[in-house]
Amino acid sequence: MDYTHLGRSGLSVSRLCLGTMNFGPETTEKDSHAIMDRALEHGINFFDTANVYGWKKGEGVTEKIVGGWFKQGGDRREKTVIATKLYGSMSDWPNDTFLSARNIRLACEASLKRLQTDYIDLYQMHHVDRDTPWDEIWEAFDILRTQGKVLYIGSSNHAGWHIAKGMEAARRRHSTGLVSEQSIYNLLTRDVELEVLPACEDYGLGVIPWSPLHGGLLAGVLRKEKEGKRRTEGRAKEALEDNRDAIEAYESFCAELGEEPADVGIAWLLAQPAVTAPIIGPRTIEQLDGSLKALEISLDDKALARLDEIFPGPGGTAPEAYAW
């Protein structure tokens, strides 16, 4: 396993991040623990979760599963860089949501209890809160860092200007600010290349792509449909129809390379300079084992250029992508 620093920080994390969103809803606690054990065996030390995962309001199902795994000992907690998030609603009461100083404090205490740990390595804002001043947000986070309950702060689903505004507010307070941004990023969804990625590179934030395979559409969906192994419905079906020609070309190109589409999609992200670690969300150990093949794929300039032809993205960074 290769490791890299999380943004400009000194924290070393694996080039793949284990996403835990399936733990609970899709994967049993026993199997989730086995997946996390196997991840450590592979050298994956970076795990991502959130207080709302498990999708039972206020219960923190997934964090509890991770906490139960930590409780087993064997240096599981010491070896793991655990990232969690707050923002989403944890009750029907108005102050148990978003990024007020109150919610930051109480949400952190609740996550620590569920995770059965006394500190969080990376505490992330799951979304931007346009109604809470940055000074209030940073004061609350700075207190947590001073108390040793949180080591690093990250954002998720923030626009480029949100990152800039937040970093400048932190700079005024002589705070560390953000070390990472977690955004949707894959060959089909490249909007972050306009301003989010440039902002992250300029301020020294590591980028943690979520949905790296766009819900499975970049994982050989057309072949699986023909084999009767997958049936797309709802938004996934609409997205497939909107991008069918590109996905057909993509799967054909992957076949030419002799590689699985899912592996090529992850390898492409790993080749992007701002990316720290794509989030992989396996439901089974077999899926986890298979995802490591992406680390062995090196895409040359010709292959990268062909992928840009198939999925052209926004055309570069702003403003050159749309102006002279």
Q: Which residues are catalytic?
A: 53
Spatial CA neighbour of 52 closest among 13, 25, 81: 25
Q: Which amino acid is present at 239?
A: A
Collapsing DSSP to helix, strand or coil, 5 comes out as strand
CA–CA separation, 163 and 78 (whole Å): 30
CA–CA separation, 124 and 126 (whole Å): 6
Q: Could you give the maximum distance between any two Cα atoms of the chain, in Å?
A: 58
CA–CA separation, 20 and 64 (whole Å): 11
Collapsing DSSP to helix, strand or coil, 231 comes out as coil
Strands 178-184 and 150-156: parallel
Query: Which residues on neighbouring strands pair with residue 5, listed in sequence order?
Result: 12
- Residue 271's Cβ-count burial label (10 Å; 0-12, 13-18, 19+) is middle
Cα angle, residue 262 at apex, residues 314 and 36 outer, rounded to 5°: 115
Residue 85 near residue 53, CB atoms below 8 Å: no
